Amino acid sequence: MAPISDELIYEQSCQEFRSINGFFWQIPLIMMTLNGGLWYSVASLTLDVCAQRGILWFAVGANLVMIVGLWRLRSIMQDLLDRIRTFEGRAQMGPQRIVQVLFSLLLGAAALGAGLASVDPRRHFPATVEHAKSDCKDADRQ
């Protein structure tokens, strides 16, 4: 078996970086779509308060998981970038995380909004409450 050349490792590292960078930029778009769909469901479907809370807490969890995912992806990207710069003979740069931090803040704000709305969905989504009068406590009693 022939030894793997440094050029091949460099090329593969660049391709892997581009691929992961694509995922990194897709996460906010995917989460925008998910959050919009979940909020639309809570605001427009006739659901009891317990179901509304469940959907909103799912949105909280999904946003928090994606924040962790963004940080993990960015960490992997930084390792690849360090390897690429070493091969090129360029100086290592510290992590440039402004986009990561901004995306995390936006996802955190979405999680916070869903969490706050879940405290009293009837107040935040009054149009859907007219048809579904039951509360989580009412559902537990049945």
38-94: pLDDT as tens digits? 999 998 888 888 999 999 999 999 999 999 999 999 999 999 999 999 898 888 777
The closest of 127, 124, 102, 99 to 113, measured between CA atoms, is: 124
86-125: pLDDT as tens digits? 898 888 777 788 999 999 999 999 999 999 999 998 888 8
pLDDT attached to residue 89 = 86
Q: CA angle 71-79-63, nearest 5°?
A: 10
Q: How far apart are CA 50 and CA 32, in angstroms?
A: 23
For residues 42, 46, 48, 54, the Cα torsion angle rounded to the nearest 10 degrees is -30
